[in-house]
Structure 1
Amino acid sequence: MNRRVMPSVLLILASFYGVMSLVTFCLYGIDKSAAKCNKWRVRESTLHLMSLLGGWPGAILGQKVFRHKTKKRFFRSMFWLTLILNFVLFYGMYSLIFRTI
């Protein structure tokens, strides 16, 4: 593996996860605020999709900070499933990228 390429790929992946986490965290905050005011809500499927696409660290933080979506058992089960699927997808992409470089 080219040692110059590896830090670049890792930086891109870390940046992607950081941005997705920030967006997901904000969505949890927006949804919690909307729930309190009885306004338009963020779909649960959107929150799960964002977690699946790398925003799961922001989702965990959003659940803790905003105390949001912590009591809904089905939501939490689906969240952990998206986290596991994200790890599987990440590992697949990681091995594909680093085997071809």
Structure 2
Amino acid sequence: MEAVVFLEFASGASGVRSCLLDRIAPLSLSGDARLSFVGTERDDIRTAEVIALGFRSAQTAKAIMQRWTSDPAFPKAVEMRLLRVEPVWSIEPLAVMFP
């Protein structure tokens, strides 16, 4: 996975989650993206939902984001962020103790 797109929206927004999942399903079936998680953030002020969508290519992620934002049917209440994933290499403690 080279990139992750976070889709954030208010939990009270009617039909937004199902609309987004309907757009994500074909991407998953084609292998272009993978649904990583759906999470809920609750605090004293608001309740928001976040959908994380992983992509093998940052270019594909950017293209999908541009296609969605230019689509008049895409929910305007959705905020999108693109994060590039950088691999982190680490050595497990046991491997250091017992080479």
Do these two structures clear the TM 0.5 threshold for a shared fold by scoring above it?
no
Please state which structure has a larger fraction of its residues in helix: 1
Q: Could you state the TM-score of these two structures normalised by the residue count of structure 1?
A: 0.30
TM-score (norm 2): 0.31
The structure showing larger relative contact order (alpha-carbon pairs under 8 Å, at least 6 residues apart) is 2
